[in-house]
Structure 1
Amino acid sequence: MQVFRNPKRDIWPQIIKRPASNSKEMEALVRSIIEDVRTRSDAALRLYTKQFDGVEIGDLRVSREEFAAAERRISPDLANAIDLAHVNIKKFHAMQREHVQVIETSPGVTCWRKSLPIERVGLYIPAGTAPLFSTVLMLGVPAVLAGCGEVVICTPPLRDGSAADVILYAAKICGISTVYKVGGAQAIAAMAYGTETVPAVNKIFGPGNNYVTCAKQIVSMDVAIDMPAGPSEVAILADKSCNPIFVATDLLSQAEHGPDSQAVLVSPDEEVIEKTLNEIERQISGLSRREIIEKSLANSKTILVGSIDEGIEFLNNYAAEHLILAARNADELADRIVNAGSVFIGNYSCESAGDYASGTNHTLPTGGFSKVFSGVSLDSFVKKITFQKLTPEGIRNIGPAVEVMAAAEGLDAHKRAISVRLEELNGI
């Protein structure tokens, strides 16, 4: 990890800059894949599945028999763990339902807003280095709770041409039965524009590698996406009250996501930094994804700051996807966080809990986008329509004001729409 000691504020933008990739060649490739899928449909999906996944795929859609077989093969321990996570995630997201409130803004004028589900949504579930079944829960639970009419999943096939058992099990307990064995940019194109087999959707959700992210950004001109998303990241604010062993595990657990992931440690205490870095060296040798972690740590940073206050200021500038507060008075510090995807308060609130089973959603804005974007929630799967109703009393009350305002903007027809109603009510 790169170490910065008391960096001046004028170099903070350089420090918080995320790793960049050479995107021109990648974007050109992704655009060609998207256009090919739009032109040749399922044939293109099969071609790219063979080219990128090394699999000759037959039926793209997972059958009922495949769902049943997957459920039989899941170990009881894993099934129980997924069930527990499902319950917690459902509890948290169910509380996000909005109730219709009718407001009388003026006598005779009532307004209200109603949340309605997006009709068709597509969920992308990665399965490259590991099948991310937890993402099925994070996206599937709110989609089903919102009442989306059609929920489809696209996930890359395994080497034997099947979808991962654990992904199918998670889909089943969410109540999702439509899963397609297709991944990468081609899956995003299929959900955006439709093929003979994969239906077009209104909004696409889910994380992925740089190619998937690029594809989502390109198709967002034609179909909605959840948010801009890039490599995963964690930032930790730690002081003398932290446990350096815990902090090291949190940094390492983030780093194992991928070589382009980023872990950031901010501390006002040199000893905490030294102990944590030593712990990273001690722990890394026993981890199965050591090679990936080492590449990630090369993109990662440690910042020694002058005080906790300066650390908070730095982290609000960094706007992390995940932020852990391993410091004294963590609850009070949490109230000062204004930019973060999800905040983990105290020494026992590790990111892994939120990634799997605490109940909050782990699909979060990265790359500093938490300054303006929220993580996925029930709101992500609904659209909100406003309604208004005016009685004769209502139009008498606000009509004259509307006439004056319309005239001031030079919109005569707008004014006339009010005037003819007032004239009728006044018997003119």
Structure 2
Amino acid sequence: MEWIENGNLSFLKKRKVEAKEEAQQSVREIIAQVRAGGDKALKAYTKQFDGIELEKLRVSDEEAAAAYRRIPEEVIRAIRRAAKNIRAFHEKQKPSSWTETVEYGVVLGQKVTALDSVGVYVPGGTASYPSSVLMGALPALVAGVGRVVLVSPPQKNGLIADGVLAAAHEIGIKEIYQVGGAQAIAALAYGTETIRPVDKIVGPGNLYVMLAKKQVFGDVAIDSLAGPSEIAILADETAHPEWVAADLLSQAEHDKLSMPVLITTSRQLAEEVDREVDRRLAVLPRHEIAGPAIETVGKIVLAADLKEGARFVNQIAPEHLELATADPESVLPLIRHAGAIFLGMYSSEPVGDYFAGPNHIIPTNGSARYASPLGVESFVKRSSLIRYTDEALKANGPAIAAFARFEGLEGHARAVEERMKGAAVHE
């Protein structure tokens, strides 16, 4: 890992992954073909990219139930308990409709309405991610979304991973399609003969999935344009170097471009963590992925004190932040920008990835400066409510008309004045 002792975090300028024009053009073509060719295009791309000839796109309830039965009982219990925690956490996020009566009997308020339909993308490939099913779908279900659709690429056996289907079965997702990549995003956005379009698409994916989400945005809503995973650990001399090293590697194994960063006030801890990372990396099953992340992206940043360390954290605005300090609650007020914050020595980042309850779909690439984790608010919309009275119109109409005329909108001014002529107070 590279050491930084002068507070220069210029490496942050390089962390955003820019897609080459060829990749962007490829995604444009895929979207156009799916819009034109529908199911036929989806099957053709699945054969081209995944080497699988699909007979059908939709996964039946029986197939999902069969996958559920193939999963070890201890894993099913873990999925069930995690789902319970995630649901309970997100229940607390539900926003409310409200109204209030103010001066002159005016009624103002907001009406909260769940989206009609949502598509949840779950990555496939070499791994199975039932946790992504829970994190993407449960907030939508809690919000009251009427139609939650799941898409995921088939594995080499021609089927979606058992773990993904089992998690979907556990929480009651019925509409599942075995298609992935940019073509799946296009299908969710624009529809095919089999897949009806949705109003919003959420969930992580590879570069092509991210580019497709970017290109369909505006025709549908999306959650975010996620980049490689990130973890920053702010630690003092009380932290356990073995635990810090293990948590850095937990994110490094996601992707060769993942960004593991240790910020510490203790040079001794930094040296011990550096050695421990190398030792553990050598025996990590996914060392071929984690190695490049540690060697080319990983950083150890020395801070004069925790206040300076917090300032570095806010510059990074990491996806995941661990406060591995003697008194993390005293450091917390200094933190302004982080997607998920883990307090104390026992709060390892995977606790949040799988089980605690908060969402693991979190802003990356510094977007924690302005964005939030996926949540119930991501699946609802607000409508403003306005009920004016004749008294309110008499009192405020002249000001409204003056405002409109100042902006050069005479029609607006006349619309208000016309109402004032007929208001009961003028009879």
TM-score when normalising by structure 2 = 0.96
DSSP-derived class of the 1:112 partner = strand
Distance of aligned partners of 1:427 and 1:309 in 2 relative to their CA distance in 1, 3 Å threshold:
closer
Partner of 2:412: 414
Instruction: Give the alignment's Cα RMSD to 1 decimal.
Output: 1.5
Shift of 1:337: 1.0
Partner of 2:137: 140
Q: Tell me which amino acid in the other structure corresponds to 1:288.
A: P
1:173 is the counterpart of 2:170: yes
Residue 372 of structure 1, aligned match among 370, 383, 391: 370
Shift of 1:122: 0.5
Distance 1:31 1:423 in 2: 55
Partner of 1:334: 332
Shift of 1:257: 0.8
**Aligned 8 A contact 2:188 2:195 in 1:** yes
**Aligned 8 A contact 1:320 1:340 in 2:** yes
**Aligned 8 A contact 2:131 2:353 in 1:** yes
1:201 is the counterpart of 2:193: no
CA shift digits 1:346-392 (9 cap, x unpaired) = 11111101101100000011101111111101000011111111122
**Aligned 8 A contact 2:394 2:425 in 1:** no
Distance 1:17 1:332 in 2: 32
Partner of 2:403: 405
Alignment of 1:309-348 (within 5 A): 309-348=307-346
Partner of 2:149: 152
DSSP-derived class of the 1:102 partner = strand
**Aligned 8 A contact 1:144 1:175 in 2:** no
CA shift digits 1:26-79 (9 cap, x unpaired) = 112212211111121112211221122121111110012101211211111000
**Aligned 8 A contact 1:322 1:342 in 2:** yes
Q: Which stretch has the larger CA shift, 209-218 or 102-111?
A: 102-111
Distance of aligned partners of 1:129 and 1:262 in 2 relative to their CA distance in 1, 3 Å threshold:
farther
Partner of 2:300: 302
Distance 1:336 1:243 in 2: 22
Shift of 1:328: 2.5
Distance 1:226 1:137 in 2: 15
DSSP-derived class of the 1:266 partner = strand
Q: Which stretch has the larger CA shift, 31-40 or 249-258?
A: 31-40
Shift of 1:139: 1.2
Q: Tell me which amino acid in the other structure corresponds to 2:34.
A: V
DSSP-derived class of the 2:57 partner = coil
Residue 82 of structure 1, aligned match among 79, 84, 98: 79
Distance 1:146 1:33 in 2: 32
DSSP-derived class of the 2:22 partner = helix
Distance 1:136 1:15 in 2: 31
CA shift digits 1:244-275 (9 cap, x unpaired) = 11111110000111112111111121111111
Partner of 1:282: 279
DSSP-derived class of the 1:107 partner = helix
Please list every run of at least 4 consecutive aligned residues from structure 1 whose deviation after the TM superposition is greater than 3 angstroms. Answer: 13-17, 19-22
Distance of aligned partners of 1:259 and 1:14 in 2 relative to their CA distance in 1, 3 Å threshold:
closer
Consecutive unaligned residues of structure 2, counting only runs of 5 or more, are none
Q: Tell me which amino acid in the other structure corresponds to 2:202.
A: F
**Aligned 8 A contact 1:153 1:180 in 2:** yes
Distance of aligned partners of 1:94 and 1:22 in 2 relative to their CA distance in 1, 3 Å threshold:
closer
Q: Tell me which amino acid in the other structure corresponds to 1:2.
A: E
Q: Which stretch has the larger CA shift, 86-95 or 400-409?
A: 400-409
Distance 1:174 1:399 in 2: 52
Residue 355 of structure 1, aligned match among 353, 356, 362: 353
Distance 2:249 2:102 in 1: 54
Count of aligned positions: 425
1:258 is the counterpart of 2:255: yes
Distance 1:133 1:262 in 2: 23
Distance 1:143 1:110 in 2: 30
Partner of 2:4: 4
Q: Tell me which amino acid in the other structure corresponds to 2:113.
A: L
Partner of 2:37: 40
Consecutive unaligned residues of structure 1, counting only runs of 5 or more, are none
Alignment of 1:371-390 (within 5 A): 371-390=369-388
1:269 is the counterpart of 2:255: no
**Aligned 8 A contact 1:316 1:340 in 2:** yes
DSSP-derived class of the 2:98 partner = coil
Q: Tell me which amino acid in the other structure corresponds to 2:239.
A: C
Shift of 1:426: 4.0
Q: Which stretch has the larger CA shift, 136-145 or 12-21?
A: 12-21
**Aligned 8 A contact 1:85 1:358 in 2:** yes
Shift of 1:418: 2.2
Alignment of 1:216-231 (within 5 A): 216-231=213-228
Distance of aligned partners of 1:16 and 1:350 in 2 relative to their CA distance in 1, 3 Å threshold:
farther
Q: Which stretch has the larger CA shift, 131-140 or 414-423?
A: 414-423
